[in-house]
Amino acid sequence: MTYFYIKALHLIFVVTWFAGLFYIPRLFIYHIEAAEKASPEKEILTAQFKLMTKRLWNIITWPSAILCTLFALTLLHLNPGLVALPWMQVKLVFVALLWAYHIKCHLIVKELQRDEIKYTSRFMRIFNEVTTLILFAVIFLVILKSAVNWIYGVVGIFVLGILLMLGIKLYKRIREKNPNA
């Protein structure tokens, strides 16, 4: 029974970690776009986005990432045979990629807190989709429990990625025609 409580907690913190990782690039976009505005709007918005980013990152995203990982390691400790399964090995690769993405977001958070803007809002819109791709891959792996069949899901993810990028371009055109969209 303890295993299932730990698994439930793991899943809860997976959801909250992903929520943070889905929203933080949106805050990056808003922060970057606010920096392009005239005073005093620029200063007011930038201060607000810095505060929102700091709270989301430090109060939700980091604790969720740590707790998710601790509960996952506990599950692997309680059921060490999982590590030998090919689908789990592939999943762990995606988890490592998720942690790399998390660390990159952390670096961007620090840069924006120092008013260093190194990326465009367009780049951030594309960067924002990385978590979606990782989420799809992990869900397919966990549900299908196959190191081979998940490839169909990943092909679907890449198709989804292409559709998302086309959607971003379409949205940009709509925004250029109607800035209030």
∠ CA(23), CA(29), CA(34), 5° rounding? 125
**169 marked as binding residue:** no
Which band of pLDDT confidence, cut at 50, 70 and 90, is reported for residue 85?
A: very high
3 state SS of 60: helix
Cβ neighbours for 18, distance < 8 A, ≥ 6 positions apart: 131, 135
The total number of structural domains in the chain stands at 1
User: Percentage of the chain surpassing pLDDT 70?
Assistant: 95
**77 marked as binding residue:** no
pLDDT tens for 123-178 read 998 899 899 889 988 988 888 887 666 667 667 777 877 887 788 888 888 888 88
Cβ proximity of 25 and 105 under 8 Å: yes
Range of the domain at 67: 2-177
Element (H, E) at 73: helix 62-78
